Amino acid sequence: MNELILILDFGGQYKELIARMVRSLHVYSEIKQGKTPADEVKKLAPKGIILTGGPNSVFSEGAPQCDPAVFDLGIPVLGICYGMQMMCHLLGGRVEAGNAGEYGRIETAIESDSPLMCDIKANPKVLMSHTDQVIELPQGFKRTASTANCLNAACEDQSRNLYGVQFHPEVAHSDCGRELMRNFLFGVCGASGSYQLDDYIEKSIRAIREKVGGKRVLLALSGGVDSSVCAALLSKAVGEQLTCIFVDHGLMRQNEGNDIEKIFSKKKLNFIRINAAERFLRKLKGVKKPERKRKIIGEEFVRVFEEESRQFNDMAFLAQGTIYPDIIESGGEFGDTIKSHHNVGGLPDNLSFEGVIEPLAGLFKDEVRIIGRKLGLPDRIVNRQPFPGPGLAIRVMGEVTARKLELLRKADHIVCSEIERLHNKPQQYFAVLTDVRSVGVKGDHRTYDYVIAVRAVNTSDFMTCEYTPLPHKILTRIASRITSEIKQVSRVVYDITGKPPATVEWE
């Protein structure tokens, strides 16, 4: 059985980053609700507990908190941001609203030879995102780090194995984050680091077989990384009990529908393609709000599946390639919804399936790719560009029409073909058809046509990202080709915003 690091969630948007970092250090992690009772925590026998950040204040009415008995279990605890504030508050410390909040990368002074701070440089820059702060530490605690505006940026009670950091070690913006987490897992918790993704595959296969039994499974196979890996995993688990349906909603990239059929119709799968482009466009007519578009597409996906599944008498389960970022961005018990995903928030309550299977729901995109390679999928599938479930509908700003989709496909094809010339490519890149028109001049004529935005980002986890500083030569060629080859476009702009404050997608 794998060693476990239990992550108690208090609504922080980075909670899956914590889980990902722990797993990347070869220690298994699971996320549970912050209010999980201490008795249940004890039964899980974790090597350590991590309390996540969150959007609340410890003073807010109904503010989430853990069972205080968790601190008496003798299990090492690391509180992060709100997790540190809550721990200190529950143990008798004093938390107050600071005179000035701290946001962004802040230089931090390490003030102790704490086991948590072992081999960390004296003044690392770390990501801070807080207004409240711990003013007085609980009895038995000592300060281990500080900043110019936060006296207690980290603290500990070594005798009880309780540790807290006000900053976020789980994000790439923190210089010392990985070292600090390694110190907690191995120096404090005594973990062995034996977890491998092979364990995840075998565990998932057992869970799928136990849930499905002899019944049949229906999967939406888009040909993207997530659905393809999901199909490979389900095929390994239940074999011919799996039917894969490719719903061509007409929102795919250029030539992608035909490519998907060419690849997967030759596999040992029951592959069915449904051409439903006109149906989806009718449903999207006049709709401009991004959340509404996502909901409509999600609901229509399910309707199409239900209709198609009627030809099967015993189709019991609907499978989906949902992954961790889908779940965190769709909100949680204490989190703020950033956007809904068609395979999470868009599903209606009246599904005519016995249940839903989401075997990748605990994985990040990079982990999904690793699983895909281990399952034998080709690189052209495993390394495919990330693509949202609602497709180009959320890259067409405003109302979606057949004319706009065709325009965007051409622009996106140009963007991708030019960027793919680079030796070091960004991790995601695409075009967006904005809902803005701009004055231009083509030949001797004044034009008033669309503006195309180009997006290219680098990220380790898709929870945060930085824009890619593409060479001007590439950007110039992209702009020249788009405005020359697509007569309805008069201007091309480049998006240089990171996440946060933006998201990867525009809608």
Say whether both 121 and 267 belong to one domain. no
Do 23 and 367 meet the contact criterion of CB atoms below 8 Å apart?
A: yes
Q: In this predicted structure, what is the pLDDT of residue 347?
A: 46
**Percent of all residues in the chain with a pLDDT value above 70, rounded to a whole number:** 93
Say whether both 235 and 112 belong to one domain. no
Phi-psi category of residue 364: left, alpha or beta, with phi > 0 → left and psi -120 to 50 → alpha: beta
Say whether both 32 and 169 belong to one domain. yes
- Told to judge if 230 belongs to the known catalytic residues of this protein, a careful annotator would answer no
Do 430 and 455 meet the contact criterion of CB atoms below 8 Å apart?
A: yes
Q: In this predicted structure, what is the pLDDT of residue 339?
A: 42
Task: Decide if 507 is inside a domain.
Answer: no
| 253-259-260 Cα angle (round to 5) | 90
More confident residue, 269 or 494: 494
Task: Decide if 503 is inside a domain.
Answer: no
Task: Decide if 35 is inside a domain.
Answer: yes
Q: How many of the other CB atoms lie within 10 Å of CB of 61?
A: 6
More confident residue, 287 or 333: 287
**26-40, 173-187, 258-272: which has the minimum mean pLDDT?**
258-272
**Res. 350 pLDDT band, cuts 50 70 90:** low
Cβ neighbors of 487 (< 8 A, separation 6 or more) are 442, 449
State which of 382, 414, 431 marks the end of a domain.
Answer: 382
Q: In this predicted structure, what is the pLDDT of residue 442?
A: 81
Which entry of 102, 156, 170, 256 is annotated as an active-site residue?
170
Compute the CA torsion angle 370, 376, 377, 382 (nearest 10 deg): 20
Query: What is the distance of C-alpha 83 from the center of its chain?
Result: 21
pLDDT reading at 336 higher than 50: no
139 to 95, 154, 450: CA distances (angstroms)? 14, 15, 63
Which entry of 16, 66, 81, 329 is annotated as an active-site residue?
81
CA distance 4 to 51: 14
Q: Please tell me which of 99-113, 116-130, 193-207, 415-429 the model is most confident about, judged by mean pLDDT.
A: 415-429
Q: In this predicted structure, what is the pLDDT of residue 337?
A: 41
Q: Which two tokens stand for residue 194?
A: 């034996």
Do 110 and 156 meet the contact criterion of CB atoms below 8 Å apart?
A: no
Say whether both 181 and 59 belong to one domain. yes
Q: In this predicted structure, what is the pLDDT of residue 25?
A: 94
CA distance 154 to 143: 6
**Res. 223 pLDDT band, cuts 50 70 90:** confident
Q: Which two tokens stand for residue 491?
A: 């201007």
Say whether both 108 and 64 belong to one domain. yes
CA distance 27 to 192: 8
Q: How many of the other CB atoms lie within 10 Å of CB of 99?
A: 8
- Told to judge if 445 belongs to the known catalytic residues of this protein, a careful annotator would answer no
CA distance 48 to 504: 33
Query: What is the distance of C-alpha 322 from the center of its chain?
Result: 10
Question: pLDDT tens for residues 462-482?
Answer: 677 899 999 999 999 999 999
**Res. 388 pLDDT band, cuts 50 70 90:** confident
Question: pLDDT tens for residues 141-185?
Answer: 999 999 988 889 999 999 999 999 999 999 888 888 899 999 999
Say whether both 476 and 437 belong to one domain. yes
Say whether both 366 and 447 belong to one domain. no
CATH number assigned to the domain comprising residue 449: 3.30.300.10
**276-283, Cβ contacts within 8 angstroms, sequence gap of 24 or more:** 276/247, 276/248, 276/249, 276/250, 276/300, 276/304, 277/248, 277/249, 277/250, 277/251, 277/402, 278/250, 279/304, 280/249, 280/250, 280/251, 280/393, 281/250, 281/400, 281/401, 281/402
CA distance 462 to 351: 30
- The residue written with tokens 């325009």 in the block is 407
Q: Which two tokens stand for residue 55?
A: 């959007």
**110-119, 136-145, 255-264, 291-300: which has the minimum mean pLDDT?**
255-264
Cβ neighbors of 138 (< 8 A, separation 6 or more) are 88, 91, 92, 93, 157
Burial category of 378 from C-beta neighbours within 10 Å (exposed 0-12, middle 13-18, buried 19 and up): exposed
CA distance 337 to 19: 20
Say whether both 278 and 214 belong to one domain. yes
Task: Decide if 505 is inside a domain.
Answer: no
CA distance 233 to 374: 10
Q: Which two tokens stand for residue 253?
A: 């990239």
CATH number assigned to the domain comprising residue 72: 3.40.50.880
Question: pLDDT tens for residues 235-257?
Answer: 899 988 999 988 899 999 998 88
Q: Find the domain containing 297 and state its range.
A: 197-382
- Told to judge if 168 belongs to the known catalytic residues of this protein, a careful annotator would answer yes
Say whether both 452 and 474 belong to one domain. yes
pLDDT reading at 346 higher than 50: no
Task: Decide if 399 is inside a domain.
Answer: yes
Say whether both 184 and 202 belong to one domain. no
Could you tell me the pTM of the whole model?
0.68
Task: Decide if 388 is inside a domain.
Answer: no
pLDDT reading at 338 higher than 60: no
State which of 163, 188, 213 marks the end of a domain.
Answer: 188
Task: Decide if 504 is inside a domain.
Answer: no
Say whether both 399 and 301 belong to one domain. no
Total tally of structural domains belonging to the chain:
3
Task: Decide if 269 is inside a domain.
Answer: yes
Mean pLDDT of the chain: 88
CA distance 370 to 367: 5
CA distance 418 to 302: 36
CATH number assigned to the domain comprising residue 333: 3.40.50.620
More confident residue, 332 or 207: 207
Say whether both 218 and 336 belong to one domain. yes
State which of 171, 188, 205 marks the end of a domain.
Answer: 188
Which entry of 89, 130, 168, 249 is annotated as an active-site residue?
168
